[in-house]
Amino acid sequence: MLPGNGGGLLRAYLEKLSDPDQVRVATMDMHDPFHRAVQLCLPYARVVAGKSSISCGWRAMP
């Protein structure tokens, strides 16, 4: 877990991964900045919504 609720810190963390193309699954909060950072930095990862996103009525992202 990373502090804050912006995507910048997550993106900076993900950009340091040695082989991001090998990541196949990302479980996360579906907060829009997080979702965008994962889509950008982990192109082959399938995003799995975290429990809190489902219980809060998360809607499908485009």
pLDDT of residue 12: 92
Q: How many residues does the chain have?
A: 62
> How much is the average pLDDT of 2-15?
83
Domain locations along the chain: 7-55
Element holding 61 (H helix, E strand): none
- Mean pLDDT over 12-23 rounds to 94
The pLDDT of residue 23 is 94
Q: What is the largest CA-CA distance in the chain?
A: 34
Q: pLDDT, tens digit, for every residue of 26-53?
A: 988 778 888 899 999 999 999 887 666 5
